[in-house]
Structure 1
Amino acid sequence: MGFCIYDSYFSERWTYRTTIGLLSTQNRFVPNYKCDTHDNLKAVIGGLYSEISLVMATILGTYKVPQFTYGSAPMMTDNSKDLSFYQMAPNEAHQYEGILQLLLHFSWIWLGVLVADDDNGEKFLQTLMPQFSQNGICVALIERVKAAYITDIFDMLKWGSQLYDTIMGSRANVFIFYGETQSMINWRWLLHLPEMGYTTMGGKGKVWILTAQMELGSLIYQRGWDVQPIHGTLSFTVHSKELHGFHNFLVVRNLSRSNNDGFIRDFWEQAFTCVSPDSDVDREAKDICTGEEDLESLPGTVFEMNMTGHSYSIYNAAYTVAHALHVMLSSTSKHSIITEGEILKLQDQQPWQLHHFLRGMSFNNSVGDKIYFNQNRELEAGYDIINWVTFSNQSFHRVTVGMMDPQAPPDQQFTINEGVITWHSWFNQALPLSVCNDNCHPGSRRKEKEGKPFCCYDCVRCPKGKITQYVDMDYCIQCPEEQYPNKNQNSCVSKVVTFLCYEEILGVTLASFALFFSLVTVLILGIFLKYRNSPLVKANNRNLTYTLLISLLFCFLCALLFIGRPVKLTCLLRQTAFGMIFSLAVSCVLAKTITVVLAFMATKPGSNIRKWVGKRLAISVVIFCSLIQAGICTLWLATSPPFPNFYVHSEILEESVLECNEGSVTMFYSLVCYMGFLAIICFILAFLARKLPDSFNEAKFITLSMLLFCSVWLSFIPTYVSTKGKYMVAVEIFSILASSAGLLSFIFFPKCYIILLRPKLNKREHVLGRKY
């Protein structure tokens, strides 16, 4: 295939002129007039810039000439959708996704964006800005970069110095630069400003992310500039492979051996700043080219010995046209021997006929990459992620560190090997951070700053009882009920299960008192059984006395049910046993009080009350009063029985109190109130009978015991409500022991004193009030 190469000079005017010239007879600028059968145009590869490609397409599209673009895809309008484009670079949407995944992988959420001031730059912003916001990424600044020309160099220097100071003063350590090859020249110019003395701010290391359209290049005056500022840069590039033999082909190229290469002399003179021996320019101003200069000695910013992404795209475009022409020729000749006539017939084919074969074209190039177009006439390929490593001799090396492969499974499309990435020396080879402010560590949460982007926030310590387990959480969370926050409030720790147990001092003390009073009760019961025939024991129904002592014994012992680990059985027995036993005890005291009152009333002449005095009345009172309490307990157990439960709202966060939940608080207080009602009735009757004539009036001691009993249980209710956990249990045990001890001491200690120490008073005459 023959070819012609033209320069657009970055000018739309020259681009129109050259494109029309392609459609004319060679060396004759006559549009629509072709008289040369050997130089028929079949396809065009170009241009490097999207605007130039679009200008070319307006002419070529009229003639349906296939156009292969290898730079940025032009912005299509409704009028340009039918143009004959074949995009040799992958769809830019894959590059956008790759940039987003790269930022998310390294948690870079505060960044700057520089874009070329053109339609593609605006498309880049409109596409990625919403995606950044949706993924928690904020943009610190957005700058549109215009091409720098000599005519406005001073304005550009002023603007560039301001932009450089803004970039270096920003907390953002990551900057994305979207543009084309011309933007690369602007970028290098921007980073060179400190060396030019146009900014006083010292250079800081930044992570630059460049897009695939930006190939490293230099103008003549930039070739000696330091390349260290670009050290550690990450860039996307069209996926490519090194072609076999390409490096060796470049090594043997020189001015002497390339007489047939029309470009070699111009390139050689500019690359080595020399003049050819046969040149007409002033030879005194420059050295004479020897023709044997070594291309490998040139800096990488001037000439790379490896094939770049753009070159690889051009290579594939040329072979795509060749394969399509081959298929078209094979189809035309029907696999016959190609003759000169067939070649002429092929040359007579029109360019628009090539589209049919290009759309279905699929082949493997020389390095094994499959080349084919999708339905949008875009090359199906991916992007490589390159890390630029520079050296002190102005050379640099491209290291492939990752890839964005749209053909791979969704979870494998983006890959990155951060272990081989070389960062700028500013970061001391540590992973650069790019955040608006320092991260909020576990134990604190983020709080938005008013008037600032959502990536900028303050860190606020979690309130008491809450935690955050991860970095930069928006809300503090409550630990589960059985756990509590640790000291740093970054994790939950299981609470220590506590209850009133025998191993602690409080539990041992209360249990000791319960056993002590139980032993005392047993001793008193033994005394009364031993002296059961004495007048003092027989007085006021000794069976009631025995019942009262036994019930008091069980009152002391039932306090032990409240100590130890609560289980279902003990929870069911605690309050019901306490209520029944205490009701029995108070009923016995009430029966004794009624017996005392009725006994003295029966001594009056003509009294009819004598028939009520006796054991039957006392037994009836005890049974009746106890049955009412039994009914309350039965209803309680049938409707809402107590059960073991963890009390997690303890004042001590580290503890979870295992207690017996009362089930129904109403039934519990009904039980206590009924017991209190019996005690008040008993107290009133005993108080009224305290002055009845008798040497040993038991009503006086019952009054004192009931006064203590009522005082204890009246103070119990507010104290019980105001305490929690095991101390609430201790309050109830104390009330049980105190009230039981009061009954035991005030009613039975005086009798034991007389029986044991004053036996002379234990006589019938003295008990009945007869004096000697």
Structure 2
Amino acid sequence: MSWCSWHITLWTSSVLFLLLMGLMGRQRGLNVGLHGVQTVTCSRWGTPSNQGLFQDGDVVIGGLFNLHFQNPLCYFDYCGMVIRCLHRIIQFFDQCLSRGLRLDYAPLQYVYAMVFALEEINLSKSLLPGVKLGYHIFDSCGQPLWAPQAALSLAGGDSTTYQHTVPLIIGGASSVTAEIQSRILGPLSVPLISYLSTCPCLSDKLQYPNFFRTIPSDIYQAQAIAQIAIRFKWTWIGAVVANNNYGYTAIKDSEVCLAFIETVNMENIVSDARRAALTIQASTAKVILVFAWYTDVRELFLQLAKINVTDRQFLASEAWSTSGDLLQDPVTSEVARGVLGVSIKSSTIPGFEHFLRGLNPVDRPSDVFLREFWETDTTHSTNDFASFAATGTLQKTVLSPCSGTESLDGVQNPFTDMSELRVTYNVYLAVYAAAHALHSLLSCPQIDSITQNSSTCSSPAHIKPSELLQHLNNVNFTTPQGEMFYFQGADIPAKYDLVNWQNTPEGTKLVLIGRVDGFDIHLNESAIQWSTGSNQVPTSVCSDSCPPGTRKTNRKGEPVCCFDCIPCAEGEISNKTDSLQCEKCPTEFWSNAEQTACVPRQLDFLSFNETLGITLTTAAVSGVAVTTAVFVVFIYYRQTPMVRANNSELSFLLLVSLKLCFLCSLGFIGRPSVWSCRFQQAAFGISFVLCVSCLKVKTIVVLAAFRSARPGAEALIKWFGPGQQRGSVCLLTCIQVIICATWLTLSPPVPKRDVGFQGSKVTLECAMASVVGFYLVLGYIGLLACTCLLLAFLARKLPDNFNEAKLITFSMLIFCAVWVAFVPAYVSSPGKYTVAVEIFAILASSYGLLLCIFAPKCFIILLRPEKNTKKYLMAR
């Protein structure tokens, strides 16, 4: 049992005793605390014996309604138990019984909605045929502690005029009252159908097994308001709520961020409303949810008007969204323009207005409620309520006699207002739910009339509340308005109206702009008038939405609705607003410039059309041209000593190999294909081996020529004749051919898309399926180059005016330096720049060989012909 429920039980048992004692004292003429009280009555009718409305019948249904204003000097907390004015409680109830408090017209309409429904059912031929329904209706005076006495009086038959017990009570004008009544009636299994109790706690069938209601639980209107906020993208709202379970329901499990939560109490409403108004003024939230009683809301609007806060959009709960007092208040039109609220569903009751307008005390002489309304509304009594508020007593009143011909046709007040039947319709539904449960209970099985055993059917005179309770759980019928009605536990399916306060020249008007049906919201957005006075939806967010291409990141220590927008990283996208994370693009795709979509990566390779490709192509073609020019010069001057002295045959072969080296670099440029990948590496490897082999043989020939000049070394030169030279070059080159052939046969390079290099481009390159073959090709070239460098270094100081060994040494130094630097540059270069590094190494080494070996010779041949003589060359 909860704390609140325990206190309800405790206070009910203790205070009920005080109530009964007070009533007993009044019946015995004690008149506790009253001085000079005179019952207000019309002179044409006698004083009634009690303060109820009665109509006998086969089955009598009880009713409890708050027909009189609550004493403003008495307050209760949420549980309704902590009494702050116990010294007045007996006096208050006695005043209530003597009708010393002002009659409330709206609950009076509820009373006659119950009477109308019962009379309508009695005339029905299909619902409870042959059974007349009666009613016992009492006034609970708006006090949770007064209701148990009235409920027990109904359930126990404790009435002066009637001794019937009622099997069902329609009552519970507040959640507190319903809790108390349900617990009081629970042991008797008497069902209680409430028309105005909305606390979610009452849905608990374990604690309140006899409770039902025809109004949705507050949890549904809280969900509806949350859906409205989400629909209009209000993620940052303020909340002003009553300091009780009603207010806390609105902010429990909220799906939006709350900029602030301010609570208001009836006891301190002025200071609480002032504090809430200042908070609203300081907040950046432009939409304010107010979940409180309309009197609290009036004070809040008053405080907001004082500090000139008029630019907020208010969301209203059903407690004040249709309040006529607020709609007619001039402060409302200034502060609360365009209020959007949830209200109890309204409906029409055909014939009800005609019924109300036709009421007359002449026709209902025993109707004490109608008599009091008649006297109050037609100014035939002048009670001084200000005196009671100040002194706690009522002064004697002077009444003018009633003619008996008065009519309600021209009366306009909440009692006769048929424009919005909300709670009234709930009472109407409660009566029909009770009637259908009774109909189910009293209906006999369709059996043969001859063998019918009447003992198997319940009779109206012996209805057990526990049996009626079981049938009430299974009620399912269609209302006279054509709507399906059934209970889901204690509740009914949630149905609300959505209303909007709109300013007109005649004042603030309530306009229906939608409805809530279960979890579905039907809203006419174009019909809404917002706080700005236009059709533009207000904006209330802590942070603006993150556009596509960014993601949300929460700010540390702030609500989740407050965030920053971080651009997606390269290769990631977000194509939705307010994305929580960015998504990586597939391997073959990359993010566009806006980071909103994945686009196919641009195929990247070293092409002839780009600047780098054009530069390298130009360098290679220039090398081929220069080599060709040198070849032409050597052909033209092939008979000169300079050409003949330097092994003209190997020189021509070297020039051919250099030309091949320059040409093979072009094979690396352009879109890689299966054959280009195989050709470029093989051509590169064979061309350079041919070139280095020629240099090596030339160096060996130089060494052999000088060694053969020594005594006894004539046979050495025989081993390096023209045939041996050609054979050596061919042998050394064939080894490289074998290596390349084996490599390309077993595991050749293949075209491959390289996406390892992050970027919007995918590199198309020749991938080495086996790096062993590539390393063998490079290693063999390196071995020949090192050997050639060593031999040339040894022959660099041989006596000669033109020692070719020196030129070979310089050329091989350049060659080796280029290729040593090539390895780390090749490994570390990304994408197509790997190919560019290899081409550069080929061109650099080829140019080094060409210039170091042939430039000096061409200089002498072309510019110093006097040195191109045998005499000059043999001078030393």
Q: Which letter does structure 2 place at the counterpart of 1:455?
A: C
How far is the alpha carbon of 1:420 from its aligned partner?
3.4
1:316 aligns with 2:429: yes
Distance 1:293 1:278, change over 3 A: farther
Among candidates 574, 578, 596, match of residue 702 of structure 2: 596
Question: Are the equivalent residues in 2 in contact too, given 1:572–1:643 (CA < 8 A)?
Answer: no
Q: Which letter does structure 1 place at the counterpart of 2:309?
A: G
Question: Which residue does 2:81 correspond to in 1?
Answer: none
How far is the alpha carbon of 1:44 from its aligned partner?
0.9
Distance 1:191 1:524, change over 3 A: same
How far is the alpha carbon of 1:696 from its aligned partner?
4.9
Q: Per-residue displacement from partner, 1:568-611 (whole Å, max 9, x unpaired)?
A: 43333333422221122112211221122123212322126345
Question: Which residue does 2:494 correspond to in 1?
Answer: 382
Of 751-760 and 428-437, the range deviating more from structure 2: 751-760
Distance 1:303 1:680, change over 3 A: farther
1:54 aligns with 2:179: yes
How far is the alpha carbon of 1:282 from its aligned partner?
6.1
Question: Are the equivalent residues in 2 in contact too, given 1:647–1:659 (CA < 8 A)?
Answer: no
Distance 1:7 1:367, change over 3 A: same
Question: Are the equivalent residues in 1 in contact too, given 2:382–2:399 (CA < 8 A)?
Answer: no
Matches of residues 186-585 of structure 1 in structure 2 within 5 Å?
A: 186-195=296-305, 199-211=306-318, 216-217=322-323, 224-228=329-333, 229-237=335-343, 241-246=347-352, 263=369, 275-276=379-380, 291=407, 294=410, 305-331=418-444, 346-374=460-488, 376-379=489-492, 381-392=493-504, 393-405=506-518, 413-417=519-523, 419-420=525-526, 422-426=528-532, 428-442=534-548, 444-459=550-565, 469-475=575-581, 496-525=602-631, 542-585=648-691
Distance 1:505 1:323, change over 3 A: closer
Among candidates 641, 651, 654, match of residue 749 of structure 2: 641
Among candidates 111, 127, 140, match of residue 8 of structure 1: 140
Question: Which residue does 2:725 correspond to in 1?
Answer: 618
Distance 1:456 1:707, change over 3 A: same
> 2: CA distance between counterparts of 1:230 and 1:315?
33
Q: Per-residue displacement from partner, 1:28-77 (whole Å, max 9, x unpaired)?
A: 29xxxxx74xx542321111211101211233223222211222146359
Question: Which residue does 1:704 correspond to in 2?
Answer: 810
Secondary structure at the aligned position of 2:541 is classed as coil
> 1: CA distance between counterparts of 2:823 and 2:459?
114
Q: Which letter does structure 2 place at the counterpart of 1:386?
A: L
Structure 2 length-normalised TM:
0.70
Question: Which residue does 2:21 correspond to in 1?
Answer: none
Q: Which letter does structure 2 place at the counterpart of 1:3?
A: Y
> 2: CA distance between counterparts of 1:366 and 1:427?
40
Question: Are the equivalent residues in 1 in contact too, given 2:238–2:261 (CA < 8 A)?
Answer: yes
Question: Which residue does 1:110 correspond to in 2?
Answer: 236
Q: Which letter does structure 2 place at the counterpart of 1:233?
A: V
Question: Are the equivalent residues in 2 in contact too, given 1:567–1:644 (CA < 8 A)?
Answer: no
Question: Are the equivalent residues in 1 in contact too, given 2:312–2:336 (CA < 8 A)?
Answer: no
Matches of residues 54-203 of structure 1 in structure 2 within 5 Å?
A: 54-70=179-195, 71-73=197-199, 75=201, 81=207, 83-90=209-216, 94-119=220-245, 121=247, 124=249, 129=252, 131-132=253-254, 137-146=256-265, 148=266, 152=267, 155-178=268-291, 183-195=293-305, 199-203=306-310
Distance 1:170 1:714, change over 3 A: same
Q: Which letter does structure 2 place at the counterpart of 1:142?
A: I
Identity of aligned residues (%): 33
> 2: CA distance between counterparts of 1:567 and 1:258?
108
> 2: CA distance between counterparts of 1:255 and 1:307?
23
Q: Which letter does structure 1 place at the counterpart of 2:418?
A: M
Question: Which residue does 1:742 correspond to in 2?
Answer: 848
- Structure 2 unaligned regions, length at least 5: 1-132, 384-395, 451-456
Question: Which residue does 1:409 correspond to in 2?
Answer: none
> 2: CA distance between counterparts of 1:714 and 1:613?
31
When the two chains are superposed, the root-mean-square deviation of aligned CA atoms in Å is 4.5
Question: Are the equivalent residues in 2 in contact too, given 1:443–1:462 (CA < 8 A)?
Answer: yes
How far is the alpha carbon of 1:369 from its aligned partner?
1.0
How far is the alpha carbon of 1:157 from its aligned partner?
0.8
> 1: CA distance between counterparts of 2:626 and 2:632?
10
> 2: CA distance between counterparts of 1:733 and 1:530?
31
How far is the alpha carbon of 1:370 from its aligned partner?
1.3
Question: Are the equivalent residues in 1 in contact too, given 2:573–2:598 (CA < 8 A)?
Answer: yes
Q: Per-residue displacement from partner, 1:643-673 (whole Å, max 9, x unpaired)?
A: 34346747xx666554445566776566445
Secondary structure at the aligned position of 1:582 is classed as helix
- Structure 1 unaligned regions, length at least 5: 30-34, 338-342, 406-412
Q: Per-residue displacement from partner, 1:386-441 (whole Å, max 9, x unpaired)?
A: 02233343453342424242xxxxxxx42343523515323743223332333444
Question: Which residue does 2:838 correspond to in 1?
Answer: 732
Question: Which residue does 1:20 correspond to in 2?
Answer: 152
1:45 aligns with 2:149: no
Secondary structure at the aligned position of 1:453 is classed as coil
Distance 1:282 1:165, change over 3 A: farther
Of 530-539 and 592-601, the range deviating more from structure 2: 530-539
Question: Are the equivalent residues in 2 in contact too, given 1:642–1:664 (CA < 8 A)?
Answer: no
Q: Which letter does structure 2 place at the counterpart of 1:46?
A: G
> 1: CA distance between counterparts of 2:362 and 2:772?
110
> 2: CA distance between counterparts of 1:173 and 1:336?
71
Distance 1:629 1:417, change over 3 A: farther
How far is the alpha carbon of 1:642 from its aligned partner?
5.3
Q: Per-residue displacement from partner, 1:183-224 (whole Å, max 9, x unpaired)?
A: 2332233223345xxx4252332231425x6673467x9964
Q: Per-residue displacement from partner, 1:226-280 (whole Å, max 9, x unpaired)?
A: 4435543344445554344556767x5687998777655655777x7x6248999
> 1: CA distance between counterparts of 2:640 and 2:362?
145
Secondary structure at the aligned position of 1:318 is classed as helix
Among candidates 683, 686, 692, match of residue 798 of structure 2: 692
Question: Are the equivalent residues in 1 in contact too, given 2:699–2:788 (CA < 8 A)?
Answer: yes
> 2: CA distance between counterparts of 1:426 and 1:659?
64
Question: Are the equivalent residues in 1 in contact too, given 2:346–2:497 (CA < 8 A)?
Answer: no
Distance 1:322 1:477, change over 3 A: closer
Secondary structure at the aligned position of 2:201 is classed as coil
